[in-house]
Structure formats: structure tokens, C-alpha cells
Amino acid sequence: MIFENELIAGVLIKRYKRFFVDIKVNNKVITAHCPNTGSMMGLLKKGNKVWFTKSNDKKRKLKYTLQIIEVNGKKVGVNTHLTNKIFYEALLDGQIIDITKSDILFKEKKFNQNTRFDFFIKKNEKGIFIEVKNVTLSRIKNIAEFPDAVTERGLKHLNELIEAKNRGFDIYLAFIIQREDCKNFKIAEDIDPKYKKLLTFALKNKLKVICYDCKFLPKGIKLNRKIEFKKT
């Protein structure tokens, strides 16, 4: 995934009202859009180096978008709108699931009146639903965690994936870690015990969990290595 515009470096001042961040650049302060609705736990220390992009769209109220925050010398991708793009490119490359020319890949596939899953693959007579989650949290060295806040939306998606399995579909939950410094992944049970409990139930119902970290390129981000999922 290549950024549409050049990355610009700055220094984080603060995030506020969820969707706004103030960034210091060349002794002036600009306000950028924060494309992440999570708590961004552990990322928002004043003085952290950040990278952002400038949009050419004259209709946008905020010209700038926060993309990356550096924490303890390590980059963390925070734009959740890019997660599916990163995953989609890897899918097309056959990095995750072997897709042949006869398979059909859909994005934002409707499951029922209330739910769309991120991806659907029609493979022969088999249907595969995939839901993708962005991961930024790491409180323990080498370990990535999800969620970084209580996630009602995450619970909803798990319940719908279980329902899809009951209807005969294969189900995947993909955790995409926009970091390079983690070797393992686990659910943050202390943050959201209900999510951990439901995910454990879903695993017993043949939910397949896959986890990957990312690699930061000079002009983009790509899926990198498969990361071990610690179930306990």
C-alpha cells in the first residue's frame, strides 16, 4: 500500500475530540485528521515523532491526515482506513489464502441487513467471510494486543461470524498489526473480558484467527510476517 501523497514529519502535541491532532512542524502548529477511533493507548505521548500526509482535495476541511506515530523508536501505523487496503493487496498476492483465477473476491460483502464483512471469497462451492481488525497496542515487549478499548462493534462482528459459520460458511478473523516490533499477539482480556470470552467461544466454533505484522516502506506499508496468536 503506497501513500497517495508524500509523508511529512512532525512532532505530536495532542489529540482531542477523538478526530483531531495538533502537530508541530517547522515551528508552527497544524491540525490534522486522526483516522483512528480507538483509545490509541500508549501512542499519544506529547513529543512523539509523527508522519502525516497533505491532501490535494480542496473540499476537505482538514488538509492533513495523521498516518504514523513513532514510539520508543518504532513506527506504528494508526490510520485504520488503510488496514483493509494492506490486507487486500496481500490477498491478491496469495500471501494469506490461495486464490485462483476461478475464485471470486468481494470487498464489503453484505451478510445480512445489519452487517457487511470486510471480504468474501467464493471458492468453488465454498464461501469464506473475513473480518479485519487493526492493531496498534503493545504494552509488553514483543506482544501486540487487541482491543485497546471496550469494543461493542467487535462483539457484534464476532456474533455475526458465528452466525455465518452456522449457515455453512468458513469464517476468518484477521488481526493486522501495524507495527514491526511484535512477535506474538493476544487478546487484551483485562481491557475487554467480554470480547475475550466470545472470541474463545468462536474459536470452538471453528473461527480461524490469523495475525500479521506490517513492514514500513519509504512511501508505504505492506503486510509482512505471520505472527503467533497466543490463545491464553
pLDDT in tens, 73-131: 999 999 999 999 999 999 988 888 766 666 888 999 999 888 899 999 998 778 999 99
> Does 119 map to a domain?
yes
What CATH number should be reported for the domain holding residue 69? 2.40.50.580
From the CB of residue 17, how many other CB atoms can be counted at a distance below 10 Å? 7
Q: What is the pLDDT of residue 146?
A: 98
pLDDT > 90: percent of the chain? 86
Asked if residue 178 belongs to a domain, the reply is yes
- We report the CATH number of the domain holding residue 146 as 3.40.1350.60
Provide the residue range defining the domain that includes 49: 8-77
Distances from the Cα of 201 to the Cα of 72, 169, 205, 207, angstroms: 36, 17, 7, 9
Looking at 61, 77, 93, which one is the last position of a domain?
77
Same domain, 58 and 155: no
End position of a domain, from candidates 46, 77, 108: 77
Let me know whether 136 and 222 are in one domain. yes
Q: Is residue 209 part of a domain?
A: yes
d(CA 45, CA 47): 6
Give this prediction's pTM: 0.94
Mean of the per-residue pLDDT values for the chain? 94
Structural domain count of the chain? 2
Q: 208 and 130 in one domain?
A: yes
Q: Among residues 50, 77, 104, which one ends one of the domains?
A: 77
The residues, any chain, with a CB within 8 Å of residue 81's CB and separated by 6 or more, are: 35
Q: What are the residues facing 13 on neighbouring strands?
A: none
For position 101, what pLDDT does the model report? Answer: 65
Same domain, 33 and 14: yes
210 and 223 both lie in a single domain: yes
CB contact at 8 A, 67 and 7: yes
Residue 94 CB contacts under 8 Å (≥ 6 apart), including other chains = none
